């Protein structure tokens, strides 16, 4: 398993990704720049400030969340299965001064024992996995009783008109955005997985295409 600390940046790791995946990883931060400036960065900060103890992030991507974690976490582990994204997480980590590890691991198969994690973080991840249910079962497995899932996800619109456009554009968007399902009803999947939702807020991702603007953010607890 690939393990990266803040002192090692495996530049060659990106060679394990396809051409478009490498291009998308390079474009990811510029594509999100306006949305981050228009409020997404603040939402990340507000959510991740709640992380406690041993914290595991699912699909860390290019490491956009790194700047927002509390400094007093017991441990921070960033998991990312895609090589091109993982190398960018490692580079950002190297320049951040944050104490963390980057692991080559998928959200469906987390390399942690049952009940050993205090906080799991999912930001714009549950839309990209093939099926969210196995991921959510894995989250429930690794969380300690009382542990929390912190989530920030774009979801299916409550507007019938916009939801219809999400359905029409789902296939080309998924090809462009590396598997992202713009029409997925993620909130209902979280509710059905066995975790208990403590709080959820609905909002809009300003500065982004309409089909990915509907957002939810909140917390769910393992009882």
For the stretch 162-171, pLDDT in tens is 999 999 999 9
Using an 8 Å Cβ cutoff, are 144 and 116 in contact? yes
- What number of other Cβ atoms are within 10 A of residue 187's Cβ? 18
Using an 8 Å Cβ cutoff, are 73 and 86 in contact? no
Average pLDDT on 69-97 reads 95
pLDDT of residue 205: 98
How much is the mean pLDDT over the chain? Answer: 93
CA distances from 28 to 66, 82, 84, 89, 137 (A): 15, 13, 11, 12, 28
CA distances from 145 to 70, 140, 151, 153, 199 (A): 21, 9, 18, 23, 17
Cα–Cα distance, 101 to 135 (Å, whole number): 20
Using an 8 Å Cβ cutoff, are 75 and 51 in contact? no
Cα–Cα distance, 163 to 174 (Å, whole number): 15
Tell whether pTM > 0.95.
no
Average pLDDT on 2-6 reads 41
End-to-end CA distance of the chain: 31
- Buried b or exposed e, range 45-59, using 16+ CB within 10 angstroms: eebbeebeebbbbbb
- Which token pair is 57? 């992030």
Cα–Cα distance, 7 to 91 (Å, whole number): 9
The number of CA neighbours under 13 Å toward the Cβ of 29 is 11
In the 8-state DSSP scheme, what is residue 95?
T
pLDDT of residue 8: 37
pLDDT band for position 17 (cuts 50, 70, 90): low
* List of residues 6+ apart from 170 with CB closer than 8 A: 181, 182, 183
Span 142-158, pLDDT tens digits:
999 999 999 999 999 99
Sign of the Cα torsion 107, 108, 113, 117 reads positive
pLDDT of residue 5: 42
In the 8-state DSSP scheme, what is residue 17?
S
pLDDT of residue 94: 92
pLDDT of residue 132: 97
pLDDT band for position 16 (cuts 50, 70, 90): low
């Amino acid at each position: 398993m690939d393990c990266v600390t803040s002192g090692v940046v495996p530049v060659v790791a990106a060679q394990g990704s396809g051409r478009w995946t490498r291009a998308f990883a390079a474009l990811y931060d510029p594509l999100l720049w306006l949305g981050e400036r228009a409020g997404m960065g603040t939402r990340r900060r507000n959510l991740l400030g709640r992380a406690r103890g041993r914290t595991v992030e699912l699909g860390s991507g290019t490491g956009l969340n790194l700047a927002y974690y509390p400094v007093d976490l017991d441990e921070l582990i960033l998991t990312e299965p895609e090589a091109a994204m993982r190398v960018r997480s490692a580079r950002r980590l190297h320049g951040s001064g944050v104490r963390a590890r980057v692991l080559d691991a998928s959200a469906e198969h987390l390399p942690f024992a049952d009940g050993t994690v205090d906080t799991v973080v999912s930001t714009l991840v549950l839309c990209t996995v093939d099926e969210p249910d196995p991921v959510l079962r894995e989250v429930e497995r690794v969380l300690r009783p009382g542990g929390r899932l912190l989530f920030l996800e774009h979801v299916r619109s409550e507007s019938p008109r916009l939801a219809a456009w999400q359905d029409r554009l789902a296939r080309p968007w998924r090809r462009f955005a590396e598997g992202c399902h713009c029409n997925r009803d993620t909130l209902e999947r979280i509710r059905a997985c066995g975790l208990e939702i403590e709080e959820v807020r609905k909002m809009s991702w300003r500065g982004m295409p309409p089909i990915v603007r509907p957002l939810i953010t909140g917390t769910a607890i393992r009882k």
